[in-house]
Structure 1
Amino acid sequence: MTTFASPTQGGASRSLWKVEARPGAEGPVHDFDSEQVWSWVAGAATVELGGRTYTVTAGDTVVMPARTVRRVLADPGHGYTAVVTAPAGARAFGPDGAEFGVPPWIA
């Protein structure tokens, strides 16, 4: 993760960061207490969101609602790069409801 804007960097009410995933990388199953917006700028991925599956490529955007279980899997041949935004202080949770807290790239 590369953070572009966050409260710890000075005064941002939203966090903005870049995710670069290697080919075949699999993100964890989790959710957040607030909406996230993901925009893919390179590569491709499969997004599992609220029981549905989407294939995304560069130029696509997915709005991930709060309290919706999600997982992002990088394309096995290309990986992906995405730019993501969420409210500052967004808290992550496991699929069982266990709180993981505020990720450092959002804080």
Structure 2
Amino acid sequence: MHNHSSVSARSASDISHLPEAARRAELQRLLPLWPRELDDLSLKGRRNVMHFLSRALREERRRARAGHWTYDLARHAALVRHYKWECEAFEQFQKKGTSPIGDMEEICD
């Protein structure tokens, strides 16, 4: 058994240590977004990523409840992890006062 320390083994509180390249690589694997969309770290860009993450999570949960053969526990866990990371990034923006969060609070609750 291999012991790889990977991004997927990190906790949700490690958002500050997640390199943007690793974030982008994992999100590219999980979401149907163009690289330029993942590179956009503005409020609008992060809102777009959060929209796709929440939609992908809903779909994965739906497959789990239905017992569908395409359900993937690893994908579900990765989606949850990245969703938490993105929510924490918004909380950091809010604490710094650099961006008005507004409707993103509703998504992250």
Provide TM-score, normalisation by structure 1: 0.28
More relative contact order in 1 or in 2 (CA 8 Å, sep 6+)? Answer: 1
Rg: which structure is higher? Answer: 2
- Structure number with higher strand proportion: 1
Provide TM-score, normalisation by structure 2: 0.27
